[in-house]
Amino acid sequence: MIGIYDYTVILTYGNAVFSIVGMYLALTQHIAGAIICLVFSGICDMFDGFVASFKDRTKSEMNYGIQIDSLADLISFGVFPAVLGYAAGLTQGIYLPLFVFYILAALIRLAHYNVSEMERKECSSGCREYYEGLPVTSSAALIPLLFLIAGRLHIEFVLIYPIALLVIGFLFISKVKIKKIDPRKLIFGAFLGGLLAFIIR
């Protein structure tokens, strides 16, 4: 079979699997369960690079990892949040441009990051300290947090979700510099928020 199936990409595949399951749950009106899947997709994405670093990979394996990671991220943090919005009740045609914009912004962000990261590695071997634009993985923390806040304040999630998608989409393609933080702290917060949202709802 073509492709790579060892432990270096297992979390990347898990990222995609959780998002696909989450989209199914969303479309069958299990919104809280879908939110939990989004969090787990984010966890997989945050640690896939760390796991892959344990193996001395060939250039082909590294390039495969980069490509499969971006494709999985587009599904999980680009398409999945749009499907979640539709499933939550944003079914009117007026929301279609919003979904198109959000997914396109995520696509552009991922492509820009890949290109800039390759160029950066040609000049420096150190770790990146800042991101240009909001990383798409942040959706795995921001959307569950929004879901939790909406539940606690007794606000309909669908009333604030369009604004959130619009703002997040703009941040994806903005030139704002965001300091890189420890992924364990971000994901722990997202997981806790998603878990509380599941319990509350």
Question: What pLDDT shows up at residue 54?
Answer: 75
Q: State the average pLDDT for the chain.
A: 86
* Count of beta carbons in the 10 Å neighbourhood of residue 148: 21
- At 149-192, the pLDDT tens digits run 898 889 999 999 999 999 999 999 998 877 766 555 655 665 56
Is-contact 133 172, C-beta < 8 A? yes
Amino acid making up residue 62: M
Listed ranges 65-79, 129-143, 167-181; the one with the highest mean pLDDT: 65-79
Amino acid making up residue 126: G
Alpha carbons 2 and 130: distance in angstroms, whole number: 35
pTM of the model: 0.86
Dihedral class, residue 82 (left if φ above 0, else alpha if ψ from -120 to 50, else beta):
alpha
Question: What pLDDT shows up at residue 179?
Answer: 73
List domains and CATH numbers for the chain.
10-200 (1.20.120)
What's the whole-number mean pLDDT along residues 15-37?
Answer: 96
Compute, in degrees rounded to 10, the torsion defined by CA atoms 78, 146, 37, 96: -40
What's the whole-number mean pLDDT along residues 127-151?
Answer: 85
What's the whole-number mean pLDDT along residues 87-109?
Answer: 96
* Alpha-carbon radius of gyration of the chain: 17
Alpha carbons 71 and 19: distance in angstroms, whole number: 12
